[in-house]
Amino acid sequence: MPHYMYVALQEDNRISVFTVDPDNGKLALQADVDVPGGPFTLAISPDRQFLYAGCRDVPQINSYRIDQSSGGLAQNGTVALEANPTYIATDRSGRYVLSAYYQGAHVGVHPIGDDGSVGGTPIEWLETATGAHAMQTDPTNSYAFVPHIAGNGPNAVYQFRFDENTGQITPNSPAMVEPEEFLGPRHFCFHPSLDVLYFSNEQGCSVSGYTLDTGNGTLSLFQTVTTLPPEGFSERNTCSQIQVTGSGRFLYAPNRGHNSIACFTVDTATGELTGNGIVASEPVPNALCLGPGDRFIYSAGQESGRMAVFSVDQASGKLTPAETYPLGNRPAWISIAELAG
């Protein structure tokens, strides 16, 4: 089945659609889709039939039907927002769009129609704090987590209960987990087989591992490891997105400033991380995405406007530079889907 990549280019007001060769990782541009308003964050529905785009210049969420034979996008809905979204995701059922608002200090839940469209008033529009940077539900679709960065935010992960039947969220007890260090949790991913979450820390330039108590939906910090080299880095650096392989053996987190991807091995019994090298990438690698079969990883340079492709050694998890591709102005997000064809 064919694989397609979608890249949000904020300053070009478009989403670029590429085919992805699963054997060699090569990209081929198929289409550019106009998206006025500055597309910044993307989400693909669990059934891979629909794509959602959050725009930051004109605050809105758009929905698109994905053509299964060509990967093309046809807009079928939009909803105006009170603030610009920094992150969107669907819940595990694909019935709701979840969203987080950095400057807006809120999280939202919007219903998805039977036709995959987004529109209408939100089910939830809940104030949290400045610096809200992501929102996802856990694999059981019972809990939701919202990291908030430090400095401009409270340096905490907000914890919610999520009702998949209504889309409503309620604060859990405790309502947040606050690391003692100045970390600034930004984005996160779930280990595929352990009850473990990994957060990239924007200010801390690190990755933190948390265990998830599946009985009550609360997190406990068990490890924080740096994304920077042992000799240190004195210039400004922040962390952005984060990815873990489907095998659960390797994890990757980019450095914006050091302009690199930090690589880690994962203990598949405990979830503990060990540094596995740091590889130079395109300047300001904000967007990161693993490709088909986790054989390649794609890193978009927000400053360079180019895509760096790396092959992933399946035994060691180490990255080898492969190719680079021109993208455009301010690439902000990469999503890949395997379609029915």
pLDDT digits over 205-229, tens only? Answer: 999 999 999 999 999 999 999 999 9
Of the candidates 229, 96, 214, the residue with the CA atom closest to the CA atom of residue 165: 96
For 18-50, the pLDDT digits (tens) are 999 999 999 999 999 999 999 999 999 999 999
For residue 197, what pLDDT band results from cuts at 50, 70 and 90?
very high
> What local confidence, expressed as pLDDT, does residue 302 receive?
96
**Assigned domain for 69 exists:** yes
Output the pLDDT for position 254: 98
The confidence score (pLDDT) of residue 1 equals 82
> For residue 116, is it within any domain?
yes
Give a yes or no: residue 259 inside a domain: no
Measured CA to CA, the distance from residue 144 to residue 39 in angstroms comes to 24
In this predicted structure, what is the pLDDT of residue 231? 86
Calculate the average pLDDT of the chain. 97
What percent of the chain has pLDDT above 70? Answer: 100
* Max Cα-Cα span within the chain: 54
Indicate whether 170 pLDDT > 90.
yes
> In this structure, what CATH number is given to the domain that contains residue 58?
2.130.10.10
Sign of CA dihedral 306, 309, 38, 145: negative
Which band of pLDDT confidence, cut at 50, 70 and 90, is reported for residue 233? confident
Asked if the structure places residue 84 within a domain, the reply is yes
Residue 125 lies in a domain: yes
Mean pLDDT, to the nearest integer, of 120-149?
Answer: 97
Categorize the per-residue pLDDT at 339 as very low, low, confident or very high, splitting at 50, 70 and 90.
Answer: very high
232 pLDDT higher than 80: no
Q: Is the dihedral of CA 62, 86, 266, 223 positive or negative?
A: negative
> Looking at the domain assignment, is residue 271 inside a domain?
no
| In-domain check, residue 135 | yes
- Burial grade of 1 (CB within 10 A; 0-12, 13-18, 19 or more): exposed
The 10s digit of each residue's pLDDT in 311-326 is 999 999 999 999 999 9
Report if residue 143 sits inside a domain.
yes
Which residue range forms the structural domain that includes residue 87? Answer: 35-178
